[in-house]
Every structure is written in structure tokens, then in C-alpha cells.
Structure 1
Amino acid sequence: MTQPSISYKRHRFPPEIIAHAVWLYVRFNLSLREVEEMMLERGIDVSCETVRRWTRKLGSLIARNLRRRQARPGDVWHLDDVVVKIAGRSFRLWRAVDQDGVVLDGECQIFCV
């Protein structure tokens, strides 16, 4: 099954600017106005509504392409965990990484001791 490629036809801005604005919004959990301000600091005058439209139209396709380019996890994994007591409640924090330091998973579990 072939994946649909991203079409930037009929857009005023180049594909690199669109992809960067969507990436900023999605990756760093910024508000649309913050993305607008960051782009303005770089000399690109784009409204927050335009960024919202780009994200709605192209966000899932850009995310799929980024996930596809992401490196596969290695075959050696390391698990680290710690128990922390906060306000009388115990929390187990753990993280799994591969041999290259890529975080595979991390979670916080609450349990009673």
C-alpha cells in the first residue's frame, strides 16, 4: 500500500516553512500564537489561524513521515527504575532505553507500600 505524499500546492509559503511551523506546534506543545511569534522573529509573517489550518490539513502526514524516518530501536535495552515517596504516596518511575540512548518508554506507577 502506498502512502500519500504531502502536497503543498496552492500554498503561499514554501514547504519548509509550513513543515517547520507545524513541527513547532506539535513537537513542543506550543500555542498557535506562540508559533506565530516564533515565526515572526524569524522574519516570516504568518497568522495563527494559518498555522492552525496547516496543522489540521498536514499535521498527520508530517507526523507519519517523521515517525517513518525515526531510527528503529536497538536490540539491547536497558531498564532503570526508582521508587520515590511524595506526600506519603509511593511512586515508581521507570524508563527503558536502547543501547544508543533512545528512550523507548517511560512511565510513572502509583502503588502503596
Structure 2
Amino acid sequence: MFQGRFRCSVSKICHFSKDVVLFAVFFYVRYGVSYRDLEEIMEERGVNVDHATLNRWVVRYSPAIAAKAKARKRPVCSSWRMDETYVKVRDKWVYLYRAVDKHGDTVDFMLCETRDEAAATAFFNKSFGNNGLPEKVVIDKSGANLAGLTNINIALLVLGFWWSFIDILQVKYLNNIVEQDHRFIKKLARPMMGFKAFHSASATLDGIETAHMISKGQLNQTGVPAYRQFMELAG
């Protein structure tokens, strides 16, 4: 299983095979263990790698794998549910903006240090750029999220695309789908004992979200083990 070498940087080649690296990254983002626990798990498989190296692998490779997953996932429907949750980075709360469609498929996600109109607008711009414009977005009573969507509608009006206006619904109970989906992400992040830096938190959450999309079947690879789907995204 563990064969070949995996390029870790422009100047270095890992002393571990590609399969070893990807197995470690996948196991961490899928099962929410600590790096110390993962170090022990890898040792039991005959691979001696320290927890600091495992952290570098996750931070380095998760964002690129997530980008490929977003590009390959099946199209989402035109009715979305959007909300934000929070994670702790160096004793400070930061915000994970997330959207799913009405069937629960992941639309997009973005970690942000603020929870305001600018952050909400940036998230919607990113999500629409990756997935196209939805017909409807359900949000909670957040004024910032409402302002963000309103900014998008104003921009559509200015550009002359008034027929593409997004229907905005502020109905809390309709957002149960995305709120339930948050639980999976937070369940995995909790054993990780908090993040030490924003960039590592963002990269790790990229990996967690990717594993979650795979578990929901969004890559349309029925019968292919989740680990293999994750590995294929690495090329």
C-alpha cells in the first residue's frame, strides 16, 4: 500500500510515500483525533512520524485537496441554507461561514476572523463564484447576513441582471439543515484541542469539509472507499 515518494516542497522530497502522507491527512480530518493520537496510530502501522510533521502535512495539503473537491462535486440545487458557526483559534473565537442546499449537500465554506457585513458579502461572492446564483437563500435573523445578500442583489441590479435577484428568507426553523450539518464539523474539530493559528485552522477545516462532502456522496463515486476518493483528489 505504501509505495513511491511524495513531493513535500519545491526543494525537498518526503521520506514517506504518497500513500502514507495521504492516509495520515485523511485519518486526521475524517476522525478528529489529536496529532499525538495520530502519531501513535501511525507508529502502530510501522510508520514513525512525529506530530509536528503530521500537522505540516495537514496544513500543506488539505487546501489543495479541498479546492479539487469543490470543483468535482455534483451541482447543488438552487435553494440554499446559510449560517455561520464558530471555532476557537488561540483562545479567540473565529467564524466558519457555511452553506448547504435543501438536500444537505455542502455548497461552500469559509473561515473568517470577523462576523459582519463584509465577511458575509465575501462569503456569498465566493459561494456564487463557485456554484452559480441560487434562486433562494434561507438565513437566520442575522442582520449581517441579510446585508451581505442585499449587497449581492444590489450589484445584480447595477449590472442589469435584475431577473437573477436572489429570494431571501429569514426563517430560523428552515435553517435546521445547516445547523445540524454544523454538528459534524464541530464534533471533529473538538478533539483537536483548539487551533494555534488562523491559517492552520482554515487548512484543517478545508480537510474536514472535504471528508464530509465525500461521506455525503457528493463526488458521485458510489462504491469507492472514502479514503480512495480523498487520495484521488491529490492527483
Give the corresponding residue for 1:22. 25
Equivalent of 1:33 in 10, 31, 36: 36
Q: Spell out the pairing of 1:8-87 with structure 2 (5 A cutoff).
A: 8=8, 9-69=12-72, 71-73=73-75
Deviation readout 1:78-104 (Å, 9 max, x if unpaired): xxxxxxxxxxxxxxxxx943xxxxx41
- Identical counterparts, % of pairs: 32
Write the letter of the residue equivalent to 2:68.
N
Shift of 1:63: 2.6
Structure of greater Rg = 1
CA contact (8 A) 2:24 2:42 kept: yes
* Distance in 1, Cα, partners of 2:69 & 2:23: 12
Shift of 1:108: 3.7
* Distance in 1, Cα, partners of 2:58 & 2:105: 26
Higher strand share: 1
* Distance in 2, Cα, partners of 1:32 & 1:45: 13
Considering only aligned residues, what root-mean-square deviation do their CA atoms show, in Å? Answer: 3.1
**Greater RCO, CA 8 A, separation 6+:** 2
Aligned pairs, number: 81
Give the corresponding residue for 1:81. none
The answer as to 2:175 corresponding to 1:104 is no
State the TM-score, normalized to the length of structure 2: 0.29
Higher helix share: 2
CA contact (8 A) 1:36 1:51 kept: yes
Shift of 1:17: 0.9
Q: Which runs of 4+ in 1 moved over 6 A?
A: none
Give the corresponding residue for 2:169. none
Structure 2 segments unaligned to the other structure (5+ residues): 1-5, 78-100, 107-176, 181-235
* Distance in 1, Cα, partners of 2:76 & 2:65: 24
Give the corresponding residue for 1:80. none
Change (3 A) 1:58 1:45: same
State the TM-score, normalized to the length of structure 1: 0.53
CA contact (8 A) 1:39 1:45 kept: yes
CA contact (8 A) 1:22 1:55 kept: yes
